Amino acid sequence: MKQGLQILGDFKNCRADKVYFFDDKVLKKEAEKIIKKSGFEIVDFCSHKFGGGGGISLVFLVSESHVAIHTWPENSSLNLDIFFCNYSKKNEMKARRAFEMFRDLYKPRKVMRKNIKRHY
């Protein structure tokens, strides 16, 4: 049985530029950089921008699973879901590195993180 690492993160009271909470094109570009620097190929992408000053949701399908981002501009927070399975190689360090790069981008004052070992 193989396993992979899924990291769920809640970033609270972020000090990042507000553009990263509202502009799906800007966030897509930065997230693509992070995913590629982590060593993954993006195979598909979708996003949704919520009206009335709401945030954005972006989902990237990557070569070995997914990255999902949901922003909450009204309280400068973000929910992050990173899952890189170990189908063809060990990817746990890449998942951790991607999480850290998102944390560096958003500069949260508080981070709630949960690491889940997924079996398949």
Please give the pLDDT value at position 119.
80
Q: For residue 66, indicate whether it is catalytic.
A: no
Q: For residue 85, indicate whether it is catalytic.
A: yes
pTM: 0.93
Q: Which residues of the chain have pLDDT under 70?
A: 87-88
Please give the pLDDT value at position 38.
93
Please give the pLDDT value at position 104.
98
Please give the pLDDT value at position 88.
67
- Choosing from 70, 76, 77, 119, which is the catalytic residue? 70
- Choosing from 14, 38, 65, 77, which is the catalytic residue? 65
Please give the pLDDT value at position 4.
86
Q: For residue 70, indicate whether it is catalytic.
A: yes
Q: Are 99 and 82 in contact (CB under 8 A)?
A: yes
What's the mean pLDDT when you consider all of the chain? 94
Q: How far apart are alpha carbons 36 and 112 in whole angstroms?
A: 24
Q: How far apart are alpha carbons 47 and 31 in whole angstroms?
A: 12
Question: Which domains can be identified in the chain, with CATH numbers?
Answer: 8-113 (3.60.90.10)
State the DSSP string of the chain: --EEEEEEEEEEEE-S-THHHH-HHHHHHHHHHHHHHTT--EEEEEEEE-STT--EEEEEEETTEEEEEEEEGGGTEEEEEEEE--SSS--HHHHHHHHHHHHHHH-EEEEEEEEEEEE-
